[in-house]
Amino acid sequence: MIIFQLIQKPQKRGAEIFAAQLSGKLQELGHKVVLISLFEGVSDLPFSGEILYLNRPIKNRLFDVKGWSQLAHLVSKYNPDIVQCNAGDTLKWAILSKTLFGWKSVIVARNASMVSSYVKSIFSKKWNEILYLKTDYIISVSEHSKMDLIQLYPFVKNKIEAIPIGIEQQKINEEVYEIQDNKLKHIIHVGGFTFEKNHIGILNIWEKLLKKRSDIALHLIGDGPLKEQIKSIVHEKDLSNIFFHGWINNPLDYISKSDVLILPSTIEGLPAVILEAMYVKTPVIAYNVGGISEIINHNITGFLINDFNEEQFVKSICEVLDSNIENIKKEAYELVHTSFLNNEIAKKFELKYQSIKK
């Protein structure tokens, strides 16, 4: 097969990273894969195959006929069997390009989150309805994401399936020691500074936690539009032992040296960072949102906090730091190796593509 993977732009975000990793695995399976970045951006992507950077100005994304024409030209040149749209504006681009220029390739939408959380107006709901009506198939990242979309748009129920995200097998770089201090317990969060990741909630949890113990350090890995606001709140509240690392090439090195990974997000599909933590036997505490409960079985593979309960989150962190939970780490590790490695996830995508291609 010939497969296009569309991404919004080169960036260290879950949707783009997984699309690049998936592209590599599909290429290893013998398929021709072209990774196409729509908008301007600067970041390395973990894919050794062909990457095309359209570098379209994101400010023109609502009416970029020239960009849609560029995509149509690439479809004509390569004749892909599948055009997969990975988050952001990629689905809109593919649908408008196909509608205006009449190409025939199958469009697959990758639904990586809870769509209902973003559809806030009648116009937005109707616009997305049009896009999904014209989509040939939808692959959701979790059963929760799938059912959320079916509830919002019942007509998709016959053209949607859940295939989870996966992670790469990789070695840990033991030369990274930035967060090691034997006197402290290290708590880590990995994610962009956006409203979904709930960094204000993280600071609330941290403020409560500091009242209970002083042997802790919080490491925030990521960048994003709310980073400076979060830094200002840290300064205003004089919160201690918080370290901002920015984006780093391999957060797994840092996760592996942490005592616990926290994820108090308010919206999630199925976050790869949880799988990465499980892969290196770092325990995870997360709010029970989206598809997280499909990988965290409370007190078996990790710890789930319901109802955005910050006090319970604090209590759970203390319990994890002070308890022997080797059995939970082991169960989580085995789950990842059994069900969430990209080698096997790519085969599921391959089978689905083969069943829907024209």
pLDDT digits (tens, 9 = 90+) for 337-352: 999 999 999 999 999 9
**Residue 178 confidence (pLDDT):** 59
> Tell me, what's the pLDDT at 181?
61
Give the range among 13-22, 155-164, 344-353 with minimum mean pLDDT: 13-22
Q: Is residue 172 very low, low, confident or very high in pLDDT (cuts 50, 70, 90)?
A: confident
pLDDT of residue 175 exceeding 60: no
Which of 72-86, 192-206, 238-252, 281-295 has the lowest average pLDDT?
238-252
Question: What percent of the chain clears pLDDT 70, i.e. is strictly above it?
Answer: 97
pLDDT value, residue 155:
97
- Separation of alpha carbons 243 and 260, rounded Å: 15
Instruction: Give pLDDT, residue 8.
Output: 94
Say whether pLDDT at 189 is over 90: yes
pLDDT tens-place string over residues 290-328? 999 999 999 999 999 999 999 999 999 999 999 999 999
CA dist 198 and 30 (Å) reads 41
The average confidence (pLDDT) of the chain is 93
Confidence of residue 128 (pLDDT cuts 50, 70, 90): very high
pLDDT tops 80 at residue 97: yes
Cα–Cα distances (Å) from 348 to 26, 29, 292, in that order, read: 10, 12, 20
